[in-house]
Amino acid sequence: MYGHGDLLEDNTGLTTEAGSPSDMEHPDKANGAELAERRVLFMGLPRSGKSSILSVVFENMQPYHIIGILPTQERTVYHMVTGIAVYDFPGIDDYAETLYSSAVDPAMYAGNTTALVYVVDSQGDIQGSLATLFTIMRVAQAVNERLPIHIFIHKVDGLSEELKQDIQQDIQQRVLKNMGYENLNSAFMNFHRTTIFDESVREALSRVVQRLVPRYSSLENILNSFSTKSGLDKVFLFDIGTKVYLSMDSTPSEPQMYMFSCQTIDAMEDLMVLCGRNLAVGMDEDEMLMQKTLVGLDSNTKIFIYQVNSYLALLCIGSAHLFRQMSLLEFNSSKVAKAIREIITS
């Protein structure tokens, strides 16, 4: 380990509507409030698992503590550090109710910085869930036919790989067939298999929010250049509190890379708590930028974490021999971190 990774100890990415820090257990109630310009809309049937997903990601709840979570009764919002708001809508009980719910308000789907996430319980009423989805899609595409729609095929834990594939294929075929029949645009449809018992929900949400991050193309170009010039295998820009990545370089990413990255952040946070350190809070920018960590995954691969600001960190994966010249990597990281701060504050 190289130095100490000063990751933010008490950062959930959750703020009040005004943008001030909020307690993890009390997400902001957003009924009647104007929607943020950059927004992710989470919808689904009751007990589909959408609120559990957001509780795990934004409130750091443990999956086994989710069992007693109360159903969402009113729209709530979680804020991310780049100005993206994630809205949790109350579950819709049946197809007929959809017509009278806030989910069919056309205005919320407008704009090129909006994304819809629809959560389908893979072990529940798939037919009823898709009927509700189709109603929502008709309304949404009437005002924004380029709206990214992400289907989270949820609660796949405990299922065999073959059954997971069969369920996903069945849902995809039903959705795409219906969209073709109704002449809806399927070019922006995405399907993700998720469970709260691994990092699949965070990885799926990462893929949702990437395109909503301000100047995401510029961020990706910076990370591509950084990865190439430093000889790295993979580079992520992480929101530390949620472990959602806001950008990454364009090289192919294996699921294990993301899983190891999340585990590394968790381990460093736990270590800092045990050490009793107050992480990054109250530091000035120059001091904070020196916080870095080097962790070995095995004899051949290492992860290097470099903090960008109080909420974001670069996470770099590469061969062990690259890290023999730490001064060069730290220099490149400092330049990249500065460029990222300029982009997200411009």
- Comparing 327 with 17, the larger pLDDT belongs to 327
Query: What is d(CA 333, CA 263) in angstroms, rounded to the nearest whole number?
Result: 21
pLDDT at 271: 62
Indicate the class that CATH gives domain 215-345: alpha beta
Query: What is d(CA 304, CA 292) in angstroms, rounded to the nearest whole number?
Result: 7
What confidence tens digit (pLDDT) does each residue in 92-138 have?
775 555 555 666 688 999 999 999 999 999 999 999 999 999 999 99
User: What pTM was estimated for this model as a whole?
Assistant: 0.85
Q: For 298, which DSSP code?
A: S
- One-letter amino acid of 289: L
The yes-or-no answer to whether 31-211 and 215-345 have a common fold is no
Question: Exposed, middle or buried by CB within 10 Å (0-12, 13-18, 19+), for 162?
Answer: exposed
> What percent of the chain is modeled with pLDDT above 70?
81
* Mean pLDDT, residues 20-43: 68
Question: Exposed, middle or buried by CB within 10 Å (0-12, 13-18, 19+), for 225?
Answer: middle
* Residue 280 near residue 8, CB atoms below 8 Å: yes
- One-letter amino acid of 345: T
Helix H or strand E segment including 204? helix 200-209
Instruction: Please tell me the CATH code under which domain 31-211 is placed.
Output: 3.40.50.300
- How many CB atoms within 10 Å of residue 118? 23
What is the band of 272 on the pLDDT scale with cuts at 50, 70, 90? Answer: low
pLDDT at 267: 78
Query: What is d(CA 95, CA 224) in angstroms, rounded to the nearest whole number?
Result: 45
Least confident segment among 89-98, 254-263, 266-275: 266-275
pLDDT at 195: 97
* Mean pLDDT, residues 188-197: 97
**Mean pLDDT for all residues in the chain:** 84
pLDDT at 51: 94
What confidence tens digit (pLDDT) does each residue in 58-87 have?
998 998 888 777 788 888 999 998 899 999
pLDDT at 14 over 90: no
- How many CB atoms within 10 Å of residue 106? 12
Q: Where are the domains of the chain?
A: 31-211, 215-345
The first and second tokens of residue 142, run together, are 């009437």
Which residues in 230-266 are b (16+ Cβ under 10 Å) and which e? bebbbbbbbbbbbbbbbbbbeeebeeebbebbbebbe
